Structure 1
């Protein structure tokens, strides 16, 4: 009775527009009161839920992304990507994807990519005569590469909840992220041929060299982060601190574009974003504890396995569930709620937790491009001046290559497991 009422309260609050943290916390409190458990249980579980050394990476990766955006680094990345792939048909569309791949190795957040690079990319494409729907669509789709290629905030949180190595998750995301980039570039080439989009000038070794020299230090960021983790110089959490230190060095010392006023704004934005994320994680912890106490995961596993024992069919059912949830719920909340339920089902049918993490996060990234939540769409609507409804329509065609990559990863797990097996197992 208490569990059913908890889900009813959660659904009503979410439908009513309540913040996710409030909905999770209030519904959990209702369960505790009905079952006669002391409310202090909620506080204990919330504190335990965020009392993790690994979660220290969250504010530092968020701050690193903000520093990249305010320190003039995103413009250098865009210029380098332009010199590297702008000569292809539909040049600025390829530049859009290439810049997102590079920025993915620095921020690890789709919203940071959309908010930072998105403004530069959409303006450049409009000025070059590209259709607004194409500019918005490819910018939205390419931003989802950020949380797949390491470092990645969603993968850090998944690793904490699923007790999976963050290093292995980061290694597992590299090939899928590159596959996403290739799929999107194929889509750009199709659009370029259909709409006769131009090349962004001829390829020039000299231009590439100048742009590469200007962007050399920012381009070292992924090498520092990934290389440091792979060689054991520092942990993923310490890598986040290194990313912040390096971004501060570039913005304040090398380029001198980071003023005290900018640093204060970055700090306050980081505090605000981190507080919101950790509040969701904390309230989701008590929600997950209640589900665990009621053996909900085992019941779900038994229910699913009663239909079929085909692992691929079960994975597809799970991905459909994640996709639907991702349309209505923010990524962090979806991970904290779904993973404790899905992980036991996945391990029962022999799915590697690392593989599950990659396809769940990619699935939720697709959810960022779909209404009604669609955080990336809201950000791009703000930076581009395009109505939210038009952003949705512009993005729909670009869901096709992303869904194709998701299905490929579901049926060919070696694409995500080969690198972590090579490096860690």
Structure 2
């Protein structure tokens, strides 16, 4: 155990990538202790990525890249300005609402920070906000990406824990709303203390326009339901509802209705059983292509090729981590590390809530040093037996783990959102870290609420019959 974990930590400290560190330390352990034939390591490596749910990974990444090049981020930003830009600290509120909408398309915090976050930081700076405030609220709101469905970490967790990915997606909606409200309250407090004004004039016309876009989007599932109750077939009902949507969008020239339809299509499709979470990722790509090539006509074959190559690069790095982590996690089990950790925790407490406090502290620490995907792949096999022993719902635990690791993305030494925003805002890592610290307060409050009030997570999937 000391060789496996010690060599992994040493390799990371000297600057090797996380995946390479895990792979090399795993090979060293196998060579020194001869725990299994070499072919077993190769088989575990392949088995780590030989999973149907993992097909969603490249498609969700591609969908986020296509949304960026289609100009959807700009339209979402304009919609958010019309909706909440007139409030005190308007652009900070816009930052949060924009992230909520974009999270229904990208599924990752990095895509949010690098995509719509770039627009938001520039706009806040241009309107006189301190750059630290712009960076802080952007970092906090970027954590919403993997909480609202679809979510890349939920896909990985669901695969590792053998939990319904659809249930995880639905479980993230109410916690995402709670986080959004807490962040908006935090912005209101900052606006009051620092005397931030509004950034767009209050306009009844603009507010009605933004509200009408939301109403039009919500009319689509309502129309499908009414047509189904009248006896029409599902295909006909969908065709009529989408036709009405397209006519409204064309006649009124809405700025963001079609973009807002993305989460509705994904969540509605999975809820109605039209497609699995993996197939939903393909639907997201097809919808992104429709928006970019047909509705907005902002895509070219050159930009599509660039998005595809970016997706290949990101997918390769993610799956390399998953493959290496699967071998590493298997060796942790073989070396009885999981059993030793279980015995250590059980010797400390047999109380479920104290266990959750200890696990939160562990994952907050791990999240500062490990990539999210690697952390999930390593920790789930170790902690899941304890989770079941303490009678904690695995779906609930999935939300706790994901939020902890998202907070870890905002911290040095390996917080990727921290480094992305540092580059975007042209701030030093030290200044970026200090800018983010005040915005950890609503995130920690949300983490405590989600940890100690399981109903926040489990109510919706239970009502929908996804979990018992």
TM above 0.5, one fold?
yes
Query: Hey, what does 1:232 align to over in structure 2?
Result: 273
Distance in structure 2 (CA, Å) of the matches to 1:113 and 1:381: 14
Matched, 1:44 2:43: yes
417, 421, 445: which one pairs with 1:376? 417
In the alignment, the residues of structure 1 paired with residue 209 and residue 463 of structure 2 have an alpha-carbon distance, to the nearest angstrom, of 36
Tell me by how many angstroms 1:203 deviates.
Answer: 3.0
1:251, 1:382 → 2: CA distance? 27
Once the two structures are TM-superposed, the CA of residue 70 in structure 1 deviates from its matched residue by 1.0
Q: 1:184 maps to what in 2? A: 183
RMSD: 1.1
Q: Name the structure 2 match of 1:128.
A: 127
Distance (whole Å) between structure 2 residues aligned to residue 206 and residue 184 of structure 1: 26
Query: TM-score scaled by structure 1?
Result: 0.98
Per-residue deviation, 1:39 = 1.9
Larger mean CA deviation between 34-43 and 66-75 belongs to: 34-43
CA–CA distance in structure 1, aligned partners of residues 197 and 302 of structure 2: 40
Kept in 2: contact 1:297–1:345 (CA 8 A): no
The answer to whether the 8 A contact 1:42-1:286 is kept is yes
Pick aligned residue for 2:447 from 406, 409, 425 = 406
CA distance in 2, matches of 1:240, 1:201: 36
Partner of 2:297: 256
Q: Which residue number corresponds to residue 110 of structure 2? A: 111
Instruction: Name 1:97's counterpart in structure 2.
Output: 96
Tell me the equivalent position of 2:136. 137
Q: For the residues of structure 1 that align with 2:200 and 2:16, how far apart are their CA atoms? A: 49
Shift of 1:208: 3.7
Q: Does 1:305 align with 2:346?
A: yes
| 1:146-225 mapped onto 2 (5 Å cutoff) | 146-210=145-209, 212=213, 213-225=254-266
Asked if the contact 2:131–2:425 (Cα under 8 Å) also holds between the matched residues in 1, the reply is: no
Task: Give the conservation status (yes or no) of the 8 Å contact 1:221–1:243.
Answer: yes
Deviation track 1:384-423 (CA, whole Å, cap 9, x = no partner) reads: 2222211111000000110111011111111001111111
Confirm or deny that 1:16 pairs with 2:14. Answer: yes
Structure 2: runs of 5+ lacking an equivalent: 214-253
1:26 aligns with: 24
Task: Determine the C-alpha separation between the residues in 2 that align with 1:245 and 1:208.
Answer: 30
Alignment of 1:333-352 (within 5 A): 333-352=374-393
Q: Which runs of 5+ in 1 are unaligned?
A: none
Larger radius of gyration: 2
Contact 1:80 1:208 in 2 (8 A): no
Of 296, 301, 315, which residue of structure 2 is paired with 1:274? 315
Output the TM-score relative to the length of structure 2.
0.89
Match of 1:78 in 2: 77
1:244 aligns with 2:285: yes
- Greater CA deviation, 266-275 or 296-305? 296-305
Give the CA deviation at 1:106: 0.7
